[in-house]
């Protein structure tokens, strides 16, 4: 059985009028104030979560509960479809085109790359400078956390490795250029790095806190390898798995630059997965990984509730990028199509009105939003904008297209209806997400779409920083 990803269709929104500054300030002053921040970063969680409704078999009761009590941004996008630059953008408040962080870098390179173009502080450092105690565990930035980013940070252990624990030998996929593999491992939840992260986070919330705090927890699943204890896989019987609807001729109207940029030879292809009858096992493992990380989110949220601090704590849950599970003939992120850039983004806490927002927003907006919701001074160097007026119901913001980049010169621009992609060589793609949510029909060659392309292309930065090369030491 296959499912058709049409549950969510972007509406054509031309814009929204803003409330006057005086009325916004008055309403904001009457809004309950958050004192603390819990930031939950989930690795490679795509838009299948139930709150976004793009796969009928996803089991995320704890994320659903969080979503029902807060604001769900149903058209949120990462500024890069890969974890390193996406997280660098989120925590610096700067676009990749400003910092030159277009690909993976080591954590110790983040601060110097940002300092080369801006004197801004990373989000945890900014909060610390304003009296917060910042603590974190797990994969917060690309490798965990830059030194000095937090007052207290617990890195992954040697036993865990990058994305462990792992069996001595792989089960199904042997290409060593990727961690990709799937299957039942280990035996218990307690052996999983995300369980340990959630358990530590729950214990942190039980402490006495004299200062306001930021707690950042980075969960690895559903990043590859898709290993979870067998009990989680058993929740998704193989013969009941619903596969994504795909178009075998999908690449026929994609320019060569697009094919080359999205090529990931180290990853399984849809052709291989079909031939080897592994599409359903991959789907099963990804769905099971989502269910497991949802359980970990639940551990933290239950601890927050038990701590008595839920009433004054802002919670933000976000993923760093999306992930293809057969769509566009691939099992990977690292592309400028919607399944790679669209991510869950949820805010809940004091002053947040329960709602679903379909206007485009970006992870770049988290930094300034958090500051305003915590009552802190704005950081004028933030490139994003605060979404606090929307969260609190005090104002609507004008529709602002979002920009994602993968590799210098390759951009996607997403508004309420269209996705425009322009590659470094000038070749293009354009999709009408209202009539073509699967992005199957490239309209870039349609003369009648010239004005749409020009409007969206105007959001591509004219100046792009030189690429920061990864440190191989």
Catalytic residue among 142, 223, 295, 324: 142
Rounded CA separation 366/385 (Å): 8
Which candidate in 62, 77, 83, 316 is catalytic? Answer: 83
Q: Give the alpha-carbon dihedral of 55, 60, 63, 66, to 10 degrees.
A: 100
Distances (CA, A) of 174 to 145, 163, 472: 29, 16, 24
142 in active site = yes
Q: Are 268 and 331 in contact (CB under 8 A)?
A: yes
Q: How far apart are CA 222 and CA 284, in angstroms?
A: 12
Instruction: Centre a 10 Å sphere on the Cβ of residue 103 and count the other Cβ atoms it contains.
Output: 18
Give phi and psi for 313, each to the nearest 5: -120, 125
Give yes or no for a contact between 216 and 140, defined as CB atoms under 8 angstroms apart: yes
Question: What's the token pair of residue 222?
Answer: 């559903």
Verify cis geometry, omega within 30 degrees of 0, for the bond prior to 279.
Answer: no
- Per DSSP (E only), the strands in 120-247 are 133-138, 152-154, 182-184, 213-219, 226-228, 243-244
- In three-state form (DSSP H/G/I as H, E/B as E, the rest C), the secondary structure along 114-152 is HHCCCCCCCHHHHHHHCCCEEEEEECCCCCCCCCCCCCE
Q: How far apart are CA 24 and CA 132, in angstroms?
A: 26
- Does a cis peptide bond (omega within 30 degrees of 0) precede residue 465? no
Q: Could you list the active site residues?
A: 83, 142
């Amino acid at each position: 059985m296959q499912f058709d990803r049409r549950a969510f269709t972007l509406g054509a929104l031309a814009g929204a009028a803003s409330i006057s500054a005086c009325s916004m300030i008055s309403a904001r002053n009457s809004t309950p104030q958050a004192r603390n921040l819990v930031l939950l970063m989930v690795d490679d969680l795509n838009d299948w979560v139930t709150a976004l409704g793009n796969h009928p078999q996803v089991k995320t009761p704890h994320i659903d509960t969080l979503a029902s009590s807060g604001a769900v941004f149903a058209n949120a996008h990462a500024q890069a479809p890969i974890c390193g630059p996406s997280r660098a953008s989120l925590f610096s408040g700067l676009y990749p085109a400003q910092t030159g962080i277009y690909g993976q870098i080591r954590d110790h390179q983040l601060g110097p790359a940002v300092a080369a173009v801006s004197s801004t502080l990373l989000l945890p450092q900014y909060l610390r400078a304003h009296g917060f105690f910042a603590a974190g565990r797990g994969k917060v930035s690309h490798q965990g956390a830059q030194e000095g980013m937090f007052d207290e940070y617990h890195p992954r252990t040697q036993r865990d490795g990058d994305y462990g624990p792992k069996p001595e030998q792989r089960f199904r996929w042997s290409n060593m250029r990727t961690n990709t593999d799937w299957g039942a491992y280990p035996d218990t939840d307690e052996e999983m790095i995300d369980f340990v992260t959630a358990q530590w986070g729950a214990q942190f919330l039980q402490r006495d806190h004299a200062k306001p705090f930021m707690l950042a927890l980075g969960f690895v699943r559903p990043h590859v390898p898709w290993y979870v204890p067998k009990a989680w896989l058993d929740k998704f019987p193989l013969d009941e798995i619903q596969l994504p609807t795909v178009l075998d001729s999908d690449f026929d109207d994609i320019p060569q630059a697009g094919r080359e940029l999205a090529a990931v030879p180290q990853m399984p292809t849809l052709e291989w997965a079909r031939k080897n009858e592994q599409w359903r096992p991959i789907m099963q493992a990804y769905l099971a990984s989502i269910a497991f990380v949802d359980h970990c989110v639940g551990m933290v949220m239950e601890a927050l509730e038990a701590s008595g601090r839920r009433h004054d704590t802002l919670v933000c849950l976000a993923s760093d990028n999306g992930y293809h599970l057969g769509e566009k003939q691939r099992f990977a992120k690292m592309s400028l199509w919607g399944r790679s850039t669209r991510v869950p983004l949820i805010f809940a806490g004091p002053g947040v009105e329960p709602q679903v927002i379909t206007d485009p927003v970006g992870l770049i907006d988290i930094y300034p939003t958090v500051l305003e919701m915590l009552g802190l001074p704005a950081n004028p160097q933030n490139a994003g904008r605060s979404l606090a007026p929307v969260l609190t119901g005090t104002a609507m913001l004008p529709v602002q297209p979002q920009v994602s980049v993968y590799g210098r010169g390759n951009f996607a621009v997403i508004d309420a209806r269209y996705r425009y992609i322009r590659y470094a060589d000038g070749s293009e793609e354009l999709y009408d997400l209202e009539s073509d949510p699967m992005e199957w029909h490239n309209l870039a060659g349609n003369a009648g779409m010239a004005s749409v392309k020009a409007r969206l292309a105007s959001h591509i930065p004219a100046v792009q920083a030189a690429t920061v090369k990864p440190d191989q030491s």
